[in-house]
């Protein structure tokens, strides 16, 4: 008790900054001669300590020049301790046991734990224990500033945690390719395929750019495109298509999903709000044996999954989004007046083409189970050509050789009659061309020899002698003079009067 009326105060540990500020204020009052016991008692009441403690603080400040508590010696970790701790994956108890077994002098386990907690942050401790991904969970990230629509798209190509059934009865996990607008969180385009390929990426990009989607205003050409380092996005066809459209397309750093966090967050939303409600969800509840509880339900057909996802995307666009301050992607897109760069479907049909190399056979070019042929393939059997085709459009393909367009090949089972006739004509033209070249070569190889009327040497008729050359020169001179002769240059005078023009036969007089 401090006096009869002063209640006993509960001792509290005061932080360094609070004590330093309080003592500095009291010292300032003392220097100006204004310090009273009321000031000290007020500080003590506000900090939850006794007045004697505050007077002791002032005494320490006068004698030692110290505003805070005297630092107590405690155990500190060094770089060698951090390396040993990393060797034991952040296990402090294992590090302590090792040092006891080796006989090394060191602190107690409790002291070692306090030193680790005092020196290392939770993120560093998680990193030593579980690795880089666990450390990143404790990182703070910057919030992107709100941009405008089509400023940047984020793309992802992921395998869904869902089993779907194909028409032949086999089960697959669909691959989803999706483009998400960073500013509005809208999904302008997507494609779902059985296997991962650049064709699905090009189809998703084409559907994202086009504006002919029923009831959806999303589309246009984005300024930038960011994607991970998947081989489908790094394919030459995708890079060439983005370059031809003037899109700044770049992959993000490896193992850095936070650099395209918008599409990663959209994937989480799809899994929680869409996949979790369907049978065959791979991350559903499991029994003690590790089997899915609802594994006995029949999986959905692949076409049904695609149809359900299309409906989900429509609901997603009208659902309030936390990252948009409660607005929906559709509302944010329509509220943005940024003009859209629109392209005609015909132009996209020539730009967004998947590419593959094929060898020309006598039947044409085989691609995805179908055979294609055209007149321009005549003469190129056995050659390796580049085939460019529109995903999910299998009626025709474009054939290139050494970067030059060779022709447009049509499906053999749907070959137009005019194209078939053109192919036959091309084959006949190729045969005539070869025959003409062979006849010309045969004439050049054929040699004529001069006749012999007696003894002599066989000579080629093509050879020239001095006498023969002179005769040929005189003949050429005579021909030249004949060409210059013209009877019209001679003046024959007027036609005599007794000469009468004959009448045509058969005319009556």
pLDDT tens profile 156-186: 989 999 999 998 989 999 999 999 999 999 9
Strand ranges (DSSP E) for 288-401? 300-301, 354-359, 365-367, 370-373, 384-389, 396-401
What SS3 string covers 391-460? CCCCCEEEEEECCEEEEEEEEHHHCCHHHHHHHHHHHHHHHHHHHHHHHHHHHHHCCCECCCCCCCCCCE
Domain 1-72 class, CATH top level: mainly alpha
Question: How are beta strands 300-301 and 164-165 bridged, if at all?
Answer: parallel
Please tell me the distance from the alpha carbon of residue 40 to that of residue 56, in angstroms, as a whole number: 11
User: Sorting pLDDT into bands at 50, 70 and 90, what band is 214?
Assistant: low
Which DSSP symbol is given to 494? S
Q: Which of 267, 181, 195 is nearest to 225 (CA)?
A: 181
What integer pLDDT is reported at residue 89 of this predicted model? 92
User: Sorting pLDDT into bands at 50, 70 and 90, what band is 228?
Assistant: confident
CATH numeric code, 353-421 = 2.40.50
What integer pLDDT is reported at residue 480 of this predicted model? 66
**Greater model confidence, 143 or 424:** 424
Please tell me the distance from the alpha carbon of residue 337 to that of residue 149, in angstroms, as a whole number: 9
Q: What angle do CA 125, 129, 133 make, to 5 degrees?
A: 90
- pTM of the full structure: 0.62
User: Sorting pLDDT into bands at 50, 70 and 90, what band is 237?
Assistant: confident
What integer pLDDT is reported at residue 470 of this predicted model? 62
φ/ψ of 300, rounded to 5, equals -80, 150
**Tokens for 218?**
């999303």
Domain boundaries, the chain: 1-72, 79-136, 152-285+293-335, 353-421
Q: Which of 81, 73, 89, 147 is nearest to 116 (CA)?
A: 81
Please tell me the distance from the alpha carbon of residue 305 to that of residue 378, in angstroms, as a whole number: 44
Average pLDDT value for residue range 367-388: 90
Q: Which of 240, 250, 246, 244 is nearest to 223 (CA)?
A: 246
Q: What is the DSSP string of 103-144?
A: T-----HHHHHHHHHHHS-HHHHHHHHH-HHHHHTT---PPP
pLDDT, mean over the chain: 83
Average pLDDT value for residue range 354-377: 89
Looking from the CA of 13 toward its CB, the CA atoms found within 13 Å total 0
Contacts of 391 (CB under 8 A, 6+ apart): 191, 199, 200, 202, 203, 206, 354
Query: At residue 4, does pLDDT exceed 50?
Result: no
Please tell me the distance from the alpha carbon of residue 206 to that of residue 197, in angstroms, as a whole number: 15
User: Sorting pLDDT into bands at 50, 70 and 90, what band is 9?
Assistant: very low
Domain 152-285+293-335 has CATH 3.40.50.720: no
**Greater model confidence, 495 or 99:** 99
Q: Which residues pair with 372 in a beta bridge?
A: 365, 411
pLDDT tens profile 415-451: 888 989 999 999 999 999 989 888 888 887 776 666 6
Query: At residue 12, does pLDDT exceed 80?
Result: no
Please tell me the distance from the alpha carbon of residue 261 to that of residue 228, in angstroms, as a whole number: 11
Please tell me the distance from the alpha carbon of residue 221 to that of residue 215, in angstroms, as a whole number: 19
User: Sorting pLDDT into bands at 50, 70 and 90, what band is 1?
Assistant: very low
User: Sorting pLDDT into bands at 50, 70 and 90, what band is 377?
Assistant: very high
Please name the helix (run of DSSP H) or strand (run of DSSP E) that holds residue 93, with its range, or none: helix 92-102
**Tokens for 322?**
């936390």
pLDDT tens profile 194-213: 988 888 888 888 889 988 66
Q: Which of 29-33, 118-122, 224-228, 291-295 has the lowest mean pLDDT?
A: 291-295
Taking CA atoms, 325 is separated from 41, 145, 146, 154, 345, in Å, by 49, 13, 11, 20, 35
Which DSSP symbol is given to 292? B
Please tell me the distance from the alpha carbon of residue 122 to that of residue 137, in angstroms, as a whole number: 10
């Amino acid at each position: 008790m401090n006096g009869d009326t002063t209640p006993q105060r509960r001792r509290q540990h005061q932080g360094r900054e609070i004590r330093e500020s309080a003592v500095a204020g009291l010292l300032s009052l003392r220097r100006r001669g204004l310090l009273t016991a009321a000031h000290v008692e007020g500080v003590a009441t506000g900090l939850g300590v006794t007045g004697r403690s505050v007077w002791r603080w002032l005494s320490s400040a006068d004698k030692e020049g110290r505003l805070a508590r005297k630092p107590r010696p405690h155990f500190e970790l060094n770089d060698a301790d951090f390396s040993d701790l990393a060797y034991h994956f952040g296990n402090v108890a294992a590090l302590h046991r090792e040092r006891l077994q080796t006989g090394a002098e060191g602190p107690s386990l409790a002291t070692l734990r306090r030193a680790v907690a005092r020196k290392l942050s939770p993120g560093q401790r998680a990193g030593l224990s579980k690795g880089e991904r666990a450390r990143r969970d404790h990182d703070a990230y910057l919030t992107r500033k709100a941009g405008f629509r089509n400023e940047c798209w984020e793309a992802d190509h992921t395998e869904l945690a869902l089993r779907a059934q194909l028409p032949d009865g086999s089960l697959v996990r669909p691959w989803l390719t999706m483009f998400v607008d960073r500013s509005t969180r809208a999904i302008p385009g997507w494609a779902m395929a059985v296997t991962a390929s650049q064709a699905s990426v090009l189809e998703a990009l084409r559907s994202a750019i086009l504006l002919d989607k029923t009831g959806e205003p999303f589309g246009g050409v984005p300024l930038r495109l960011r994607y991970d380092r998947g081989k489908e996005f790094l394919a030459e066809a995708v890079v060439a298509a983005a370059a031809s459209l003037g899109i700044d397309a770049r992959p993000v750093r490896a193992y850095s999903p936070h650099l395209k966090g918008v599409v990663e967050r959209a994937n989480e939303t799809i899994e929680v709000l869409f996949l979790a409600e369907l049978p065959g969800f791979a991350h559903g509840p499991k029994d003690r044996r590790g089997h899915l509880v609802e594994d006995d339900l029949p999986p959905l057909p692949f076409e049904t999954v695609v149809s359900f996802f299309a409906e989900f995307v429509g609901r997603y666009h009208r659902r309030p989004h936390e990252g948009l301050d409660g607005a929906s992607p559709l509302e944010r897109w329509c509220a943005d007046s940024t003009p859209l760069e629109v392209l005609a479907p015909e132009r996209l049909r020539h730009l967004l083409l998947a590419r593959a190399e094929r060898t020309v056979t006598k039947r044409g070019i085989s691609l995805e189970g179908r055979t294609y042929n055209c007149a321009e393939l005549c003469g190129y059997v056995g050659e390796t050509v580049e085939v460019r085709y529109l995903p999910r459009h299998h009626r025709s393909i474009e054939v290139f050789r050494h970067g030059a367009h060779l022709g447009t090949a049509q499906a053999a089972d749907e070959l137009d009659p005019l194209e078939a006739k053109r192919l036959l004509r091309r084959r006949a033209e190729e045969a005539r061309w070869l025959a003409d070249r062979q006849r010309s070569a045969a004439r050049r190889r054929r040699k004529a020899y001069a006749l012999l009327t007696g003894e002599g040497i066989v000579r080629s008729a093509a050879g020239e002698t001095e006498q023969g050359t002179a005769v040929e020169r005189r003949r050429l001179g005579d021909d030249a003079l004949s060409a210059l002769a013209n009877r019209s240059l001679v003046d024959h005078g007027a036609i005599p009067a007794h000469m009468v023009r004959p009448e045509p036969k058969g005319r009556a007089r």
